[in-house]
Structure 1
Amino acid sequence: MTHELQKQGKFSYLESGEGTPIIILHGLMGGLSNFGGVVDFFPGKGYKVLIPELPLYDMPLIKTSVGTFAKYLGEFIDALGYQKVILLGNSLGGHIALLGSKMFPEKVKALVITGSSGLYESAMGESYPKRGDYDYIKAKAENVFYDPKIATKEIVDEVYATVNDRNKLIRTLAIAKSAIRHNMASDLPNMKTPTCIIWGKDDNVTPPEVADDFNKLLPDSDLFWIDECGHAAMMEHPEAFNKILHTWLQERGL
């Protein structure tokens, strides 16, 4: 994925294609490159894909929370002048998308979540390793995927650098605590946004029962499974992920 970042005011973002906007929200230990398969596929199908860089490590500590990131998302949508968007989020990004859909439902025409936090506390609370222990971090990174080879040295090095950066580690822990506090079980039954749930059957971070719970609690949702797949379906099985999502969007007239 070689697209250049765009700048508008305080926002930096990747943009590709023309058509209905799909705004992608990456996870806490993820990045824009995690969605390379989506960026390569959807711009040719009548969609504009946008991936804002979330200010995970740039906010004052007291403002470092899921709620603040959801407000940032709303400001991003307004800054680009969109009336209605599709939100797609993985892990923490799914949580931000869910909270954004609750806070400003008029801006969200559809929601797509995969391996999302928001219901399952351990999804955010267990993954913050001991600083300096590279082998431990490598094992944790590999556990995210069904196929541990997906956790390349580049990915492991990036996580290792994050948890050994004191500023980033403090904010990572603050975000994790915020995510646990922002459990959305009581909110979901009131959220009418059409929602596509795509989940790895072998997700060790947010296990399959979490997807079942999302599907039961959200009034207008469809749940799809990908076999031999962990926590980041769009990375591990991009073709299957794109096919499921594109078919769902077409069937829903989105």
Structure 2
Amino acid sequence: MEDEIITDGKYRYIEIGEGKPIIILHGLMGGLSNFQGVTHFFPTKGYQVLVPELPIYDMPMLKTTVKNFAKFLEEFIAHKGLKDVILLGNSLGGHIGLLHTKLFPEKIKALVITGSSGLYESAMGDGYPKRGDYEFIKKKAQDVFYDPKVATKEIVDEVFATVNDRMKLVKTLAIAKSAIRHNMAKDLPNMQTPTCIIWGKQDNVTPPNVAEEFHELLPDSELFWIDKCGHAPMMEHPEQFNQILDAWLVKRGF
């Protein structure tokens, strides 16, 4: 079942439940519906889950940066009147969450990152992307996951459409470059926000050593592994992801 997307001024988002706010930040190629396993679990635990659509292809070219997405998130939080927010980001979304927490720490109670960029990434891979070659794109999409079947035809079609839209392709590459420029290794040791790191053991976009480095650099962090899992644990193993995160939130009193 598709969740209703609310349009509210310049914002488009999914909102489910009432209680303590969890904001889910999707990645570069991630649609809002990718995280249904998480968005439908936490409202049963007393959380309000919000999934804003990030303006990845809507900003002017020069403003298509990780920093401007972090500012967009701050505007969204202010628009919704939220405080004590738990940010949960996958891939680029994790990077946006990290940078947002560095820039606006006062409203963020906790941070959850999974397959996050910010230290290293090979998301663009070698010779990516070949426009027009559906099988190549399909293989790239499958490589994101441990189990290639998770890359449904719908997901592959969406990625294929993006890389064959010239403007979207240019902005995708601009964001990838911005993510590489915004390396956060020097910032992380100064960030005191409690952080839960959940990582796929077989992630080949942001490999396991990246998770270990995040854990070493973030002062108040815990690292959890999911086996037989690639770059998007909340899509590939939603139940296990939910159990780990729920237990961490309870332990930390969030």
Instruction: Indicate the TM-score class for this superposition, using the shorter chain for normalisation.
Output: over 0.9
- Say if 1:156 and 1:176 are closer, same or farther in 2 by CA, change over 3 A: same
Contact 1:134 1:160 in 2 (8 A): yes
Which residue type is aligned with residue 18 of structure 1? E
Q: 1:48 is aligned with what amino acid?
A: Q
Partner of 1:232: 232
Residues 1-254 of structure 1 correspond to what in structure 2 (within 5 A)? 1-123=1-123, 126=126, 128-254=128-254
Alpha-carbon offset, residue 34 of structure 1: 1.2
CA distance in 2, matches of 1:42, 1:28: 23
CA contact under 8 A between 1:124 and 1:180: conserved in structure 2? no
CA distance in 2, matches of 1:157, 1:6: 24
SS in 1 for 2:119: coil
CA distance in 2, matches of 1:168, 1:126: 19
AA of the residue aligned to 1:233: P
Amino acid at match of 2:115: G
TM-score normalised to structure 1 length: 0.98
What runs of 5+ residues in structure 1 fail to find an aligned partner? none
Task: Please report how far the alpha carbon of residue 121 of structure 1 lies from its aligned counterpart in structure 2 after TM superposition.
Answer: 3.8
User: 1: distance between equivalents of 2:120 and 2:188?
Assistant: 14
Counterpart CA distance in 2 for 1:126 and 1:64 is 23
- Do the aligned partners of 2:121 and 2:206 also contact (CA within 8 Å) in 1? no
Root mean square deviation of aligned Cα: 1.1
CA contact (8 A) 1:189 1:217 kept: yes
Aligned residue pair count: 254
Counterpart Cα distance in 2 of 1:89 and 1:217: 18
Deviations 1:122-175 (A, max 9, x none): 245658311111111111101000000111111111100000001100100100
CA distance in 1, matches of 2:16, 2:127: 32
Task: Give the superposition deviation at 1:95.
Answer: 0.3
The residue matched to 1:100 in structure 2 has which SS?
helix
Corresponding letter in the other structure for 2:19: G
Alpha-carbon contact 2:121-2:205 (below 8 Å) kept: no
Query: Aligned-pair distance for 1:9?
Result: 2.1
Deviant stretches of 4+, over 2 Å: 121-128
Amino acid at match of 2:194: P
Shift, 1:246, TM fit: 0.4
Distance (whole Å) between structure 1 residues aligned to residue 15 and residue 87 of structure 2: 14
Change over 3 Å in CA distance of 1:17–1:126 after alignment to 2: farther
Q: Secondary structure at the match of 1:56?
A: coil
